Amino acid sequence: MNFDFSDDQQAIKRTAKEMLAERFKLEKVRELAEAGEYHEEAWTEMCELGWAGIFIDDKHGGQGLGLVELAILCEELGYALAPVPFLSNAAAGLALQIAGTEEQRQRWLPGIASGEARGTLGLLRAGEAKLVPDAVGAEVIVLLTGDGAQVVEAANAEIEPLDVIDATRPYAAVRADGGDSLAGEGGDSPYRLATALAAELTGVAQRALEMAVEYARDRKQFGRPIGAYQAVSHRCAQMLLEVEGARSTSYYAAWCGDAEPESLALAGSMAKAYASDAGWRVTASALQVLGGIGFTWEHDLHFFLKRAKVDGVLYGTAEEYRDNVARLAGLSREPATA
């Protein structure tokens, strides 16, 4: 069995890596984060490349590709820590693509695919979605509840911006009544979203690992690079193990979404649970490798650490997804949930 990317997938990954490296040098990420802004020109360029609608059917203005292609983009965007509203827009698109009525798809998906009428998604609990990325500026908001899902126009929702540690992405609390119902809880779109978010966390962790390894190679103590000491080299090796574990579970879940959807719920839950823990542990370990400089505002690592921390709880914590794995595997009598 060939586990490599296809030629087209490799081209998507190569294009994304090159474009994002040019547009989002770390000094630019810092500038945008400190200003609380997005790179609108880069977002427009991504939309022109078709990224916003990469998984959306071509009849609604998308490219009609799959979850693997979406995961490839999410990993590269996480690696670059790109301040753009890609993930939130994709989250809404996934829910509407999978569970929306034909009328809802025709109304909202073309704008999501083009990036001209952005969407976002939140988990509605006790009348409020407490952590909704990019709600300010969105046209449509999909809200997943414990027993259903609904789509509301952002103009009809109460949106309260939040002060969150991740400065590279704005968040808000959302309250809304009514709206149009989606099928069930959004079909399997929550697991597709979990997979995409796991891929983003993989990219974040990969970049933090590279920062730590570069520092361990260059920083010398007692005439030797600190990476030559076991305490540091073993920590870096453990970081590599966790990054590769997150990557493997993420792409397996993405493959399930395209080729074996009956396995997606379990695979997506495993990917999000593992990547949530790995994202935090790898960035925190990088902080330890860097030592004192890593704790300063002037070093860029803290942006990755904070994104990993928030991504770890966004759309469900690692603990919640581990519980879901247990239910899906028959180890718990409680029904599985997204």
Q: What is the pLDDT of residue 333?
A: 58
Q: What is the CATH number of the domain that holds 201?
A: 1.20.140.10
- pLDDT in the model for residue 316: 94
pLDDT higher than 90, residue 177: no
Mean pLDDT throughout 277-288? Answer: 97
The last residue of a domain, from among 182, 217, 249: 182
Rounded Cα gap, residues 53 and 89, in angstroms: 9
Residue 165 structural domain: 7-182
Torsion of Cα atoms, 156 then 162 then 164 then 170, to 10°: 40
| Residues 265, 293 within the same domain | yes
Q: pLDDT digits over 230-274, tens only?
A: 899 999 999 999 999 999 999 999 999 999 999 999 999 999 999
What token pair was written down for 60?
């609604």
Per-residue pLDDT at 86 exceeds 90: yes
Q: Which of 3-17, 34-48, 291-305, 323-337 has the lowest mean pLDDT?
A: 323-337
100 within a domain of the structure (yes/no): yes
Q: Number of structural domains, the chain?
A: 2
Phi, psi (deg, nearest 5) at residue 126: 55, 40
Q: Is 64 a member of any domain?
A: yes
Query: What is the pLDDT at residue 74?
Result: 98
Percent of the chain with pLDDT over 70: 98
Per the domain annotation, does 50 fall within a domain? yes
Q: Which of 129, 157, 182 is the last residue of a domain?
A: 182
Q: What is the pLDDT of residue 196?
A: 98
pLDDT at 230: 87
CA atoms within 13 A on the CB side of 231: 5
74 shares its domain with 151: yes
pLDDT digits (tens, 9 = 90+) for 186-218: 889 999 999 999 999 999 999 999 999 999 998
Percent share of the chain, pLDDT over 90: 84
What residues contact residue 303 under an 8 Å CB cut-off, 6+ apart?
A: 29, 30, 33, 81, 167, 168
Instruction: Please report the pLDDT score of residue 319 as a whole number.
Output: 96
Q: Looking at the predicted structure, is the pLDDT value of residue 335 above 70? A: no
Q: List phi, psi (to 5°) of 3.
A: -100, 5
pLDDT in tens, 55-84: 999 999 999 999 999 999 999 999 999 999
Same domain, 137 and 244: no
Average pLDDT over residues 24-31: 96
Same domain (yes/no): 151, 15: yes
Closest CA to 307 of 128, 171, 105: 171
Reference 195, options 243, 264, 259, 260; nearest CA is 264
Q: Are residues 140 and 208 in the same domain?
A: no
One domain, residues 178 and 201? no
237 domain-assigned: yes
Mean pLDDT value across the chain: 94
Q: What is the CATH number of the domain that holds 24?
A: 1.10.540.10
Which of 160, 182, 204 terminates a domain? The answer is: 182
Residue 3: what pLDDT?
A: 73
How does residue 24 score in pLDDT terms, banded at 50, 70 and 90?
very high
Domain annotation covers residue 335: no
Q: Are 82 and 222 within one domain?
A: no
| Residue 58 shares a structural domain with residue 173 | yes
Question: Does residue 167 sit in the same domain as residue 196?
Answer: no
